[in-house]
Amino acid sequence: MIFALDVGNTNIVMGVYEGRKLLAHWRITADKYGTADEFGILFVGLFQYEGLDINAIDDVIIASVAPSVMFSLESAVRKYFKREPIIVGPGVKTGINIKYENPKEVGADKIANAVAALEIYGGPAIIVDFGTATTFCAVSSKSEYLGGVICPGIKVSAEALFQRAAKLPRIELVKPSTVIGRNTVSSMQSGIVYGYVGQVDYIVRKMKREMKEDNVNVIATGSLADLIATESETIQKVNGLLTLEGLRIIYHRNKAHD
């Protein structure tokens, strides 16, 4: 079994795989657990709840865009799993040819998403990840990471509106029944939800034209993917665990070369 962790700025998504089968998965707040032992106690509790043996984990693989938690997280893996974690980065075989001007700038989560999208859905592909930032990644049919777009995330935008406008409340992120709001809350919800739907569809269409490839698959992932995908005209598939799937695939590609 392997333990895969997608460490973001807002959440940490974790999953346990036996071969291709996902046995269990969890999502926690990234900044809630600070020390190695806090992470360790969390891992032990989650595994026990699902009836999984923490000692049966053969390897741990991590994709992270949050360096601040990595020291504690890696220490927890060494102490509680007795394993040296595999960190997705330089030296790890992914099968993706990065065409970014500086390949080191591409987040490990984006690479994992690209790997999973190509393996599961085929290329070319555009991956829209609704996280702390909303990111768009273009991957060619030749397994080339071409680049992408980075926008403020949905929650970040909603929170900024609340923080900077004195009379606007903090709102629940749900889709209102109509675009034209009849009160402040529904008007804000409409602006956030339908505004992001419009943003996604416009950017995806522009990216498709620039990619100059036929039959581009558009896959959405992230905690708020379903909220936008239900209204989007361009999103074809939603896979909330795309990054974990990418980590599973990357792990087996590297083990095959050992």
Catalytic positions: 109
Residue 141 CA to residue 143 CA, distance in Å, equals 6
Residue 210 corresponds to which tokens in the numbers above? 């620039």
Residue 172 CA to residue 190 CA, distance in Å, equals 11
Residue 36 CA to residue 100 CA, distance in Å, equals 34
Residue 52 CA to residue 7 CA, distance in Å, equals 21
The b-or-e profile of 189-226 (16+ CB within 10 A means b, else e) is: bbbbbbebbebbbebbeebbeebeeeebbbbbbbbbbe
Residue 16 CA to residue 222 CA, distance in Å, equals 18
Residues 6+ apart with CB under 8 A from 252: none
- What residue type is assigned to position 109 of the chain? D
Structure-token match 């569809």, residue found? 201
What is the 3 state secondary structure string of 147-161? EEEEEECHHHHHHHH
